[in-house]
Structure 1
Amino acid sequence: MALLDLDARWRRFNDPDRACPCCGQRFSGVFDIGFDHPTPWAHEPREDQPFVKQGDDQLTADLCRAGDQRFVRVVMSFPVQGAEDEVMHITPWAELGPEAFYAYLETFDGGDAPAVDDAPAALANQLPGFEDETEDALPILLHFPGPDARPIALAQGGKLAEAQENGVSFDQLLDIYAAFGQDIRPHLQQD
């Protein structure tokens, strides 16, 4: 049994058959959160559109060009402390230098180009729950697992790197969701 199984809120959070007494909302455990576009994107959000183009600027689900800047959507993973094999993923954007961006682009969608080496990048979104750290472009290292997966981003220091390494508590997880506009804490308090 995992340590978090002792927390009634965790059990409610992971019980898809339980309806919140105040609103009927149901939860089925840890869910991922993502960003539509990098912060420097000054145009309309992509939302459900496959592609947005404004002049030379372009935005897809995984690639973005805004002026001279190039961005890729990445995955940051955070284990949940006290839970077995539970991980929350956040998919922000990262700014890459031109050489790394175009090397990645060559492999995108199954291209035959050689694998991309790990590359330094800068986080291009403020992560909920880590606003103090992500106000400026936080340095990250990108690992490129292959053409079928988004690059993996590893923070290079601070609380964000610590959270990736050691995980987040259930309360921190709920705080991150709340900061992202999905405050589910009140719905887990009672039966």
Structure 2
Amino acid sequence: MTSPLDLDPRWRALQDMGGVMDIGFDHPSAWTHGERGAEPFIKVGDDQLASELCRFSDQRFICAALTLAIRGSEDHVIFAIWVKVPDDCFYAYVETFDGGPAPETAVGKLSSELGPVAPLGAAVALTFSDRESRPKAQLFGGATDISLDDLLALYEATGTVNRDDLGSVQ
């Protein structure tokens, strides 16, 4: 099926590069100790960062999956974002790794820089399904889709894709 984006040379170049790439954030925006990179776990004093959980000062964060449709196409992009959550939610989620029941839902605050999609601190609803998958995130009153221009801006800001690799940019 043909997409309106098929007429955009940047979209075609992105497809030639393998298609839409998901974006993952290494750490919450509040984290000041540098990237985790290839390390499975970082501990600095009482602060801790792993791929799915973060404790920074008196704040607790969970990594969640935010899925947004790409306007003008049938594709979507998934963001692995960080959400600041209340302590009780954080510790209930930690218990799922030891076989405990997952919390059903929670409300937190966005702690990943999503630029044009949502501001830092925006309200985020989390839905937990099981311990095998990340919680699903939904922005309250926020975006359910993203434009190609905004996606490309986020790709460039996160170092995922350089706009120059996609040809001419408007």
TM-score bucket (shorter structure): 0.7 to 0.9
The two structures have a TM-score, normalised by structure 1, of 0.79
Q: What amino acid sits opposite 1:114 in the alignment?
A: P
Q: Which runs of 5+ in 2 are unaligned?
A: none
Q: What amino acid sits opposite 1:101 in the alignment?
A: F
**CA root-mean-square deviation:** 1.9
Aligned to 2:30: 40
Work out whether residues 123 and 138 of structure 1, in 8 Å CA contact, stay in contact via their aligned partners in 2: yes
Aligned to 1:61: 51
> C-alpha separation between the residues in 1 aligned to 2:80 and 2:163?
22
Structure number with higher strand proportion: 2
Structure 2 residue 20 is the aligned partner of structure 1 residue 30: yes
Q: Which runs of 5+ in 1 are unaligned?
A: 16-26
**How many residues were matched structurally?**
167
Deviation, structure 1 residue 179: 2.8
Secondary structure of the structure 2 residue equivalent to 1:100: helix
Match of 1:143 among 96, 120, 127: 127
Deviation, structure 1 residue 183: 5.0
Aligned to 1:127: 114
Aligned to 1:178: 156
Structure 2 residue 93 is the aligned partner of structure 1 residue 104: yes
* Rg (Cα) greater in structure: 1
Q: Provide the identity percentage.
A: 40
Q: What amino acid sits opposite 1:185 in the alignment?
A: R
The two structures have a TM-score, normalised by structure 2, of 0.87
